Amino acid sequence: MKIYQDTFSDKTEEIIDHEVEIDLEYTIEDLPKMIDSMAIACDRLKNISTSLRTFSRADRDYKVPFNLHEGIDSTILILKHRLKANEQRPAIAVITNYGDLPQIECFPGQLNQVFMNILANAIDALDESNHGRSFAEIQAHPNSIIITTSIADKYAKISIADNGNGMSAEVTHKIFNHLFTTKAVGKGTGLGLAIAKQIVAEKHGGQITVNSVLGEGTEFIIQLPV
């Protein structure tokens, strides 16, 4: 288009009228931006598709090598709609501090369930901590979830910490108990963390623990043998 404009400067009235009608200059300026937007949207679709495949892997009868960071990332992407800003609060920041983890022999689908449960609980806890606080107050002390991974004593260690209201010592002692829940009737089953513990401890020979300080936040630590 640019070459035509430069080469054929003598335009007919028909071309000039059509150029005005279709707003040619704007189109030439906007088209590359539109193509860039399409490329970004395609990348997002590809990432979502990949994440869904990673998250929903069907487990076999035996353990397979798995990149835990891919499992965590896929879970975060699936929960992204719950993390973004809304009328009540700004977006919840998810900060990942990933160490150099090897692939772990595991049941990926089951571990992804554990990540999903803990991260969804963290979002619930943060939303609960926002009750009674204004948008500006939350913005001044923003909601965050920090995920840290490392190798410690031949174990892969995954820490998932939020800065919500935290829990009392009495609650933390019961948190993995079957049918125990801190949520309102109809909102929690009391099965999520009990199943998470079963998956980590019985299926993978690891351990899951919780540290919580009332008024400051909660940290779940998962340790899996390398």
Mean pLDDT, residues 202-223 = 93
| pTM as predicted | 0.76
Residues 121 and 36 in one domain: no
Residues 129 and 190 in one domain: yes
- The number of distinct structural domains making up the chain is 2
- State pLDDT tens for residues 87-128: 889 999 999 999 999 999 999 989 999 999 999 999 999 999
Mean pLDDT, residues 141-152 = 95
Residues 39 and 111 in one domain: no
Give the three-class secondary structure for 86.
coil
Would residue 179 count as lying in a domain?
Answer: yes
Q: Taking 60 as the threshold, does the pLDDT of residue 150 lie above it?
A: yes
Question: Residue 160 pairs with which residues in a beta bridge?
Answer: 147, 220
Mean pLDDT over the full length of the chain = 87
- Token pair 């992407």 is found at 77
Would residue 54 count as lying in a domain?
Answer: no
Q: Provide the b/e sequence for 101-110 (b: ≥16 CB within 10 Å).
A: beebebbbbb
Q: Nearest Cα to 78, choosing from 51, 108, 45? A: 51
CATH number, residue 185:
3.30.565.10
Q: Give Cβ neighbours of residue 104 (< 8 Å, ≥ 6 apart).
A: 65, 66, 68, 156, 224, 226
Task: Report which DSSP code applies to 142.
Answer: -
Percent of the chain with pLDDT over 90: 47
Lowest mean pLDDT among 70-74, 173-177, 194-198, 209-213: 173-177
Q: Give Cβ neighbours of residue 226 (< 8 Å, ≥ 6 apart).
A: 102, 104, 151, 154, 155, 156
Q: Residue 214's domain spans which residues?
A: 64-225
- State pLDDT tens for residues 24-51: 888 888 888 889 889 888 887 887 787 7
Would residue 52 count as lying in a domain?
Answer: no
Residues 37 and 107 in one domain: no
- Token pair 């513990």 is found at 197
Residues 151 and 183 in one domain: yes
